[in-house]
Structure 1
């Protein structure tokens, strides 16, 4: 970290963004109202499955797109796939790819410190949404200057979305999704507005917020050796894969929700690779991990640095934002 970032005189205090607070309150209240409406009045079965499809596309846009492709560059994508993922990410209605990746790279680079905008050490609610309700502190803004974003700035798809985001948001988050049920299969427009405009929005936002808060749900905590050590054993399975993500964030197989390799996002990326829409899928095999662990112990080096050195499959660009020495 540079001397500027280490300067204790630079404030780490974050100011609440009240526009985001009002948005969050409205979104969650409307989402709960929409759930009660759905249970009481229902909707056409086509509308229900259409809503599930929109949620799936939104999650794919945020995970396979913003997270694995643009934030960590786990693989490369064709222009067509990039456009598709960009539109899916836009449908979430949670800001631009550019801004989300900026914050996410800051989160990884200064994980669990005051410079981490989603600092999980402050609890589930903070990492899930409270951290997003405040502007970055002066210290965080200064730290951002150390993070290379040139790959995003040279990506025409990302910059197109950044320039035209509000128009794309109006079209692909609100107008087209809400209008389709009434236009194509005669759904009541009030029902469509409530289910697609409120419930789907509420659901997909909370699912994608789990990218930063999932460590509190699926990750094994200190002292836990097995999933049955947790009171949540009957609901979820806890693993160390989320911790592994912070060691090898470039591995395309690490699931955002606690799984590895057999989650729907990894499967989606492999399908895209089979269709020659995705290439250069980066991963780390078990033998490489073992070699890296031995090297880390013998040479007293950072494990992430050893994984980078030992991996034969991972080839990161010279201007990749990750510096292993800044990860902790």
Structure 2
């Protein structure tokens, strides 16, 4: 007799509103890119870069590392700032983003994973965004523990006021700035600050789940890869490490470790004592675990868990800053 979970359908239907929405975003962005090259003023381009970087930090340092994985603790002021940054990303509420991402980690590399990287970059990066969750995935998502976010007043406030904040922070203020302060055209405001900005933020944010297809080593793949991609991309094991130790604040979303902009951003606030309890694993612990895995032929995850437990660090090592 099948259990309730195994009897639920795994079929994901197309999410047609999302399909149409993303098609229009991409098509309209082509004209915006033409304006970026030939017509938009430099201040508009600077605003495009600043707003995009701030929004991506809201996803990586905020929704991903702080709220989804608890890689560090942030003061109330920093949490409010990151909440505003995340609103500027236009990715939905922090609560919904985190619940979806925790489902991804809980089901990673299985048929229930919403962004199953085994099906290729195209699926993980784009196609998965155009489909609804299957009944099985909806059930699994409803079982994700979200009690920590339920008790976070900053997250609760954003969930209640999201669409008002979205309209003001994401749409009205950014689109008004080029018109009000440096007299750029309406077309530049709408297509560059509107559509191109959203296109950049979307793909940068989507790489949080699909980046393992870009930078992660595939089973049996050589390191460095035996192809011309070596001159463009560096393949590493770090994307896989993130799924083994997701609470490590130094795991970059874009294929590196301990050297990304988000890690530097967190360290700046840690130096000011606004970010505390930065979780990581000491390098010697990692080295011993990897050596043990190579020697014993056991799974790396098992060896990492054992190494961490021997160090009395069941919830991740707290690297004290300040």
Does the alignment reach a TM-score above 0.5? yes
TM-score by length of 2: 0.91
For these two proteins, the number of residue pairs brought into alignment is 313
Residue of structure 2 in register with 1:64 after alignment: 61
Instruction: Show structure 1 runs of 5+ residues with no match.
Output: 317-328
Describe the shift of the 1:307–1:22 C-alpha distance in structure 2 as closer, same or farther (beyond 3 A).
farther
1:283–1:313 CA contact under 8 A, matched in 2? no
Partner SS, residue 229 of structure 2: coil
* TM-superposed deviation, 1:96: 1.1
CA distance in 1, matches of 2:179, 2:311: 52
Partner SS, residue 282 of structure 1: strand
* TM-superposed deviation, 1:45: 1.2
* TM-superposed deviation, 1:188: 2.0
* TM-superposed deviation, 1:291: 4.1
Residue of structure 2 in register with 1:133 after alignment: 130
* TM-superposed deviation, 1:241: 0.7
Please state if 1:91 is matched with 2:88: yes
CA distance in 1, matches of 2:88, 2:153: 19
Describe the shift of the 1:240–1:183 C-alpha distance in structure 2 as closer, same or farther (beyond 3 A).
same
* TM-superposed deviation, 1:69: 0.4
1:31–1:202 CA contact under 8 A, matched in 2? yes
CA distance in 1, matches of 2:249, 2:60: 10
> Equivalent of 1:24, from 22, 25, 32?
22
Residue of structure 1 in register with 2:310 after alignment: 310
Instruction: Show structure 2 runs of 5+ residues with no match.
Output: 317-322
Report the RMSD for the aligned CA atoms in angstroms: 2.2
Residue of structure 2 in register with 1:73 after alignment: 70
Alignment of 1:25-44 (within 5 A): 25-39=23-37, 41-44=38-41
Q: Any idea what the Cα deviations from partners look like across 1:274-322, whole Å, max 9, x if unmatched?
A: 1111000000112212444577749988345325423455636xxxxxx
CA distance in 2, matches of 1:236, 1:118: 21
CA distance in 2, matches of 1:313, 1:191: 52
Residue of structure 2 in register with 1:245 after alignment: 242
CA distance in 1, matches of 2:237, 2:297: 23
Alignment of 1:179-328 (within 5 A): 179-293=176-290, 297=296, 302-312=302-312, 315=315
Alignment of 1:137-176 (within 5 A): 137-176=134-173
Q: Any idea what the Cα deviations from partners look like across 1:69-110, whole Å, max 9, x if unmatched?
A: 011110001111111111111111111111111111111111
Select between 28-37 and 47-56 the one with higher mean Cα deviation.
Answer: 28-37
Please state if 1:103 is matched with 2:100: yes
CA distance in 1, matches of 2:312, 2:184: 54
2:171–2:194 CA contact under 8 A, matched in 1? yes
